[in-house]
Homo-oligomer: A and B are copies of this chain.
């Protein structure tokens, strides 16, 4: 049922016709595909972001700050789910670049509040634009249906990888409901 095997011609038995795949990766053609797509996607994002004075990865931090306003660093860390030390260093650089401001939390002298600067508000719209451009570049030639399919499949893959990593609040919650 709902067989969509994309006509015939290139599809073999295993997913992702294993055309000249390393022997050691024959057991995981889709994983190979995921790795390559991941790298290309990150590179593409990096290129778009470089023009805006952002390094790849910093976008996610800024996105959360734009959404949430002034926020405890600890909460930011939970939100982006990165190592605390990683966030510390990224924030130091973002602060030096003028995209972010940090000040001690008056209510808890160990904590620090982080917020995006007014100067970075221009960045928001540009990041928004770049992100849309990246999306179209990624999905070019795919029909709306195929895009939805892809999104669904990736969501399930994400859930799979999350439950194993056991470290992904949003997906865990999503799982519990489904």
A residues near B (Cβ < 8 Å) are 2-6, 11, 15-16, 19-20, 22-31, 33-38, 40-45, 47, 59-60, 62-64, 66-67, 124, 127-129, 131-132, 134-135, 137-142, 144-158, 160-162, 164-165, 168, 170, 174
Contact = CB atoms under 8 A, between A and B. Distances in A.
Given A66-B24, A124-B24, A4 B149 contact: yes
A153 B11 CA distance: 12
A158 B36 contact: yes
B162 A132 contact: no
A167 to B, nearest CB: 8
A25 B36 CA distance: 22
Given A4-B2, A40-B162, A41-B161, A154 B30 contact: yes
Contacts of A6: 148-149, 152
Nearest to A18: B151
A131 B44 contact: no
A157 B37 contact: yes
Contacts of A15: 139, 144, 147-148, 150-151
A17 to B, nearest CB: 8
Given A66-B23, A141-B156, A142-B153, A28 B162 contact: no
A137 B134 CA distance: 28
